[in-house]
A and B are shown apart, each in its own frame.
Chain A
């Protein structure tokens, strides 16, 4: 009964979040399918020069061609591969780092946790994008570096969320109970803390994918990614470096990859939102 009387502001409408999540899921699935079946879907090999440079859309090239005559539609379709891979792998890096640090810091809040959280704080306070750029510039351009840089910089936020969850789990009585039974920390962490953190961690992971996709695009756009990798960000990099957004070409060269980035990021953000609502309904 408390549910209704104590919190008059809370109105359980999980359906909405769920529906948004489904919409997001559909968006992600579509993009994943596009990435997987890129060779079937794309009319051309995106690395091959199949037309004259700077062609506007035509029957042969629905989105025209880029500056060296590669088919933009094919680039766009293949771009899903790199963008999604970077997003997901970077998020996995962040997930592993964030969960490890979050769980350790949450479970050992005293000395170890303090040190860990201090480093998390430092990372969170440091100016994010400038640091990202400095790091990316330092490491050089490759897909792997992009992934590492993004992963290494975005784990701090999730690790904080996970830590506070673990911190609360840690004092949850069933964890205390297992400790009073004489269970080693490992037991409590593996049996009680991790399973109860998994959903939250997955939620932050999905959110991290969304962030990572945007960051990859930004890095590629700034020319700090590998411009020869066919990602949506690098399509925009070429559009920018060859001035396409100042010409009519922005309609087929700038708009579509940006929309793809947005859809990808949005898809994951919606799923993350739905998951967050499930974990901690606030809608």
Chain B
């Protein structure tokens, strides 16, 4: 009888073993194997700089990519900007450079911005792109809320255009030193001839015919949840793209996309590759990894408005107890930059190198002892106000890296007598606890939580004010309920500081203040790592903080800023 059972199991095992054995030898060939993934290449030199068709993978559908329908900030916005142009464009260092605007000049207090639009730019439909289109676009976004772009332009008071000089003048209500980065390099310019007819963009139905932009690519085909096909715009004003056709394939999840790039079915993954895949993928056939700093953040939040987190000693001790380097090494396998306690990424020009992460559990324990958080009952857990320091660390289950961060953090905090239970919950539940109703005026419903901000907030350094200022109108992203008068004063002042040098001094000081007062624990800035098949195309541009998903990656070098 045992034999009879054994047979099917044995067969199964044999099949698996066979597959396992064959894998080692097959690995080398799989990149060219697979099905239907053959991409036509036009040159055979090492590292392709031109391709007729490039297949890129993204995770999750982005709907019909136009300013009112695209879904995610990344890579949705990046795909949007394949079709549209902004007035300025980030360069490889993440600095805004003139783009549709040939020149950008501003007055002394940075309230009036004058832009000269490049002459002779045409829309995909052949109409000329004029200063009036720019004015129309900005006014349209201000009038018809989109969220992101409306907010970018919230400081704009007036826009005028002059078609004869092809100039646009934007007047701001207040000094906004980062207007170029926040708005000019972010807002897509849309054609008046298309959008003037759309009164309520929120309810309009879109198809490819509305996707008229001026960018290097035109959307020609879209199958929901399946793929986007972009064709190159040969008349692009900065020069024709090096890739004739860009097919963006939608995957349900990372693993599908990874399987596809390994099997050669796609040529580049627009989504970041998780750290553990980097080495594996890099060793495969023509696969290469583009790696560089990015501005997303990983951090630990706590409700600093209530005990015991309202006590600086507790916050400081937690920050000392958490070994950010260990998290970078273990969770990110080194593919991340250790977080600066002053928030600002070390690659930023205004980074204060004096602010350094510290890991010192002994000091942390001493600090807690001094502050009176003793473990009176000897169970290994300290008490505060008679309560054990036992807390729930809430994290979103859909992010496995965060889950691991939470697990490790709990382990580290146990060393200083805090009993942390990790609660992994639905993303929406987690958001609702940390940021109820997405409005900090609703308070907070958590003790400790994993958190992270997307790149734009780090990209524009002064936005740190939104995170740390206790005035809700400024610090509307102050999710930890942190409040410190010095931080408040300084961050508010810096928001309107027009003088570059003064701003720099101030921001250095602010970093120190933040590090001293611990509004949150900074863990890491994960690196961007993007896998691509160099046999198909390799001339990607890694924009600091943005990754490779941008039109720059497909433009000839001469066209890049």
Seen from chain A, the residues whose Cβ lies within 8 Å of a Cβ on chain B are: 16, 19-20, 23, 49, 53-54, 67-69, 137, 140-141, 223, 226-228, 237-238, 240-243, 245-248, 251, 255
Contact = CB atoms under 8 A, between A and B. Distances in A.
B254 A243 contact: yes
B331 A68 contact: yes
Interface string B365-399: 00000000000000000000000000000000110
A21 to B, nearest CB: 10
Residue in A16, A20, A243, A251 whose Cβ sees the most chain B Cβ within 10 Å? A243
Contact of A247 (B280, B397, B422): B280
A247 to B, nearest CB: 5
Interface of B: 1-2, 5, 16, 20, 23-24, 27, 254-255, 258-259, 262, 274, 276-277, 280, 330-331, 333, 397-398, 400, 403-404, 407-408, 411, 422-426, 429
Nearest to B429: A140
Given A67-B276, A141-B424, A228 B2 contact: no
29 contacts: A20-B1, A49-B330, A54-B333, A67-B331, A67-B404, A68-B330, A140-B425, A140-B426, A140-B429, A141-B397, A141-B424, A141-B425, A141-B426, A223-B397, A227-B424, A228-B403, A228-B422, A237-B400, A240-B255, A241-B254, A241-B255, A241-B400, A242-B276, A243-B276, A246-B262, A247-B277, A248-B23, A248-B24, A251-B16
Given A49-B408, A223-B398, 12 more contacts: A49-B330, A53-B330, A68-B330, A68-B404, A140-B429, A141-B397, A228-B403, A241-B255, A241-B400, A243-B258, A243-B276, A248-B23
A8 B389 CA distance: 73
Contacts of A68: 330-331, 404, 407-408
A245 to B, nearest CB: 7
A238 B411 CA distance: 19
Nearest to B259: A246
Residue in B1, B331, B398, B408 whose Cβ sees the most chain A Cβ within 10 Å? B1
A137 B427 CA distance: 10
A228 B258 contact: no
B274 A242 contact: yes
Contacts of B5: 20, 23
A263 to B, nearest CB: 9
A152 B489 CA distance: 56
A68 B274 CA distance: 13
Nearest to B422: A228
Contacts of A16: 1
Query: From DSSP, what is the main secondary structure of chain A's interface residues?
Result: loop
Contacts, number: 72
Contacts of A243: 254-255, 258, 274, 276-277
Contacts of B398: 223
A16 B1 CA distance: 8
Contact of A251 (B20, B330, B407): B20
Given A53-B276, A227-B400, A228-B407, A245 B255 contact: yes
Contacts of B27: 248
A141 B255 CA distance: 23
Given A228-B403, A246-B258, A255 B16 contact: yes
B483 to A, nearest CB: 31
B295 to A, nearest CB: 24
B255 A246 contact: yes
A237 B403 CA distance: 12
B255 A227 contact: no
Contacts of A242: 274, 276, 400
A240 B330 CA distance: 18
A243 B259 CA distance: 9
B280 A227 contact: no
B409 to A, nearest CB: 12
A140 B407 CA distance: 18
Nearest to A228: B422
Nearest to B410: A228
Given A67-B276, A141-B425, A227-B400, A23 B2 contact: yes
Contacts of A223: 397-398
Contacts of B280: 247
Contacts of B277: 243, 247
A248 B1 CA distance: 34
Nearest to A223: B397
A251 B408 CA distance: 26
Closest 8 CB pairs of A and B: A241-B400, A19-B1, A251-B20, A247-B280, A246-B259, A242-B276, A68-B330, A243-B255
Contacts of B424: 141, 226-228
A49 B330 CA distance: 9
A247 B434 CA distance: 36
Contacts of A69: 330
A85 to B, nearest CB: 19
Contacts of A227: 397, 400, 403, 424
Nearest to A229: B424
A237 B24 CA distance: 24
Contacts of B331: 67-68
Contacts of A246: 255, 258-259, 262
A240 B426 CA distance: 18
A227 B413 CA distance: 20
A255 B20 CA distance: 11
Given A19-B1, A246-B259, A54 B276 contact: yes
A129 B123 CA distance: 49
A241 B280 CA distance: 15
A49 B333 CA distance: 14
A246 B404 CA distance: 20
Contacts of B408: 49, 68
Residue in A20, A141, A246 whose Cβ sees the most chain B Cβ within 10 Å? A246
A151 to B, nearest CB: 21
A237 B425 CA distance: 15
